[in-house]
Amino acid sequence: MAELIYNEQGRLLFTEEMRREYTILIPNMLPIHFRLLETIFNNHGYRVKLLTSTGRQIIDEGLRYVHNDTCYPALLCIGQFIDALKSGKYDIDKTALMMIQSGGGCRASNYIHLIRKALKKCGMEQVPVISLNLSSLEKNPGFHFTPALLADLITGICYADLIMLLSNQVRPYENNKGDADRLIDKWVDKLVEINFNFSAFDKISKQIVKDFEAVPYTPDPDKIKVGIVGEIFIKYSPLGNNDLHKFLESEGCEVYCPGLIDFLIFMGDHHVVETELYHVKYKKYVASLAVKGFFKMMQNKIINRVKDTRFFGPTPFEHAKKDVEPFISPANKMGEGWLLTAEMVDMIHMGINNIVCAQPFGCLPNHIIGKGMIRKLRETFPQSNIVPIDYDPGATRVNQENRIKLMLSTARQQMNEGKSN
């Protein structure tokens, strides 16, 4: 066991010695993205393990060690960590945990402290917790964001967004079941081989699109397109949304889920807006402009790459921001901020009128910008068919799926009425 070293505030540090010896556990959010991120961290000298466990025991562990008014994503992440540490698969004297810390007004900024509190409560205080952040909130001598690591992480996210976009549009129509998933595996392995080469993004992305376009498929005009929006963890995580993506596909739907790049542009944009409106944080303004500009460039690359194919890409960020102006202020930045409402408006403009809005317990901003905007959207877009689904420890999967089935029934009725007209 490595020597335990604490800082002046009494926080257990992740040291260089731990970096060589410890396994770092991370919770899963986006299956494709986090597979790539796991490999990237390992390529840079860390020993990262992605947790993909599911089951009621994770919720129960979360409830045991987290106050029950804490937001559902926090409860799930902490429950998954504790469940893994108790499983016997890991030496708790040589295991660390890693969690993203946003630094904003969301409770995600406090997950780190809640995790440490839970570890203390279950007698595992020797397990260090690493904050993954770009805001200098916490630093550890054994974990550093080097330029090379950061470049690979960013490139990995861009590739993963493209793969997720294409696979969602291929899987419901493939003639040979599993073709899309096999292509995901192929490209995850291939990207590892080429070390996530950013300079080759244009060339590699073209090959990826070509591969997915070559999958034998049968068009189905009666396939219902369903968009997923919501709090970022619940929107993406199979653990958080009870495998919503697979359920919708099993019901004969094509799923559209916005990429992570949109959220990263939004994160840069809201710092820019904050400076322009309130004349604060000028240093962060310059960095945020750069972040926003870079990811807008990458989003445009993806849009242009699929433009002349049978696939469709995301709406450019600035277009989505302009389209949402009649509904919500760009100063609304808490949680997913105005972006969540913009995603719904954007989907309706794309002809995706059927939307599941995933609402986690304890996320007040998300309820306001998600569920709270549905009435206004329905008044403006009568064709919209939006259902808010609550995800919390007491919500049953059967009830959630029955509400979604009712939404799909309405979608089929609207489709049939459109044909008869």
Instruction: Give the pLDDT confidence of 354-413 residue by residue, as tens digits.
Output: 999 999 987 888 888 999 999 999 999 999 999 999 999 988 999 999 999 999 999 999
The residue ranking higher by pLDDT, 250 or 8, is: 250
Identify which of 70-74, 301-305, 363-367 has the greatest average pLDDT.
Answer: 301-305
- Number of Cα atoms under 13 Å in the Cβ half of residue 33: 20
| Alpha-carbon 131 to chain mean position | 17
CA 392 to each of CA 58, 60, 69, 380: distance values in angstroms, whole numbers, following the listed order: 13, 12, 10, 30
Q: Which pLDDT score is estimated for 331?
A: 86
Mean pLDDT, rounded, for 326-330: 92
Q: Which pLDDT score is estimated for 107?
A: 64
The residue ranking higher by pLDDT, 136 or 316, is: 316
Q: Which pLDDT score is estimated for 16?
A: 95
CA 289/CA 284 separation, integer angstroms: 8
CA 253/CA 265 separation, integer angstroms: 28
Of 128, 166, 135, the closest CA to residue 46 belongs to 128
CA R_g for the chain: 22
pLDDT per position as a tens digit, 223-237:
999 999 999 999 999
Average pLDDT, the chain: 92
Tokens representing residue 3 in the block: 């020597």
Residue corresponding to tokens 């609207």: 414
Residue 95 falls in which region: left (phi positive, over 0), alpha (psi -120 to 50) or beta? beta
Mean pLDDT, rounded, for 157-166: 97
List, in order of start, the domains of the chain with CATH numbers. 16-144 (3.40.50), 220-258+314-421 (3.40.50)
Question: What band does 104 get if pLDDT is binned at 50, 70 and 90?
Answer: low
Q: Taking 90 as the threshold, does the pLDDT of residue 81 lie above it?
A: yes
Q: Taking 80 as the threshold, does the pLDDT of residue 37 lie above it?
A: yes
Q: Taking 80 as the threshold, does the pLDDT of residue 421 lie above it?
A: no
CA 48/CA 90 separation, integer angstroms: 12
Q: Which pLDDT score is estimated for 157?
A: 95
- In this prediction the pTM is 0.94
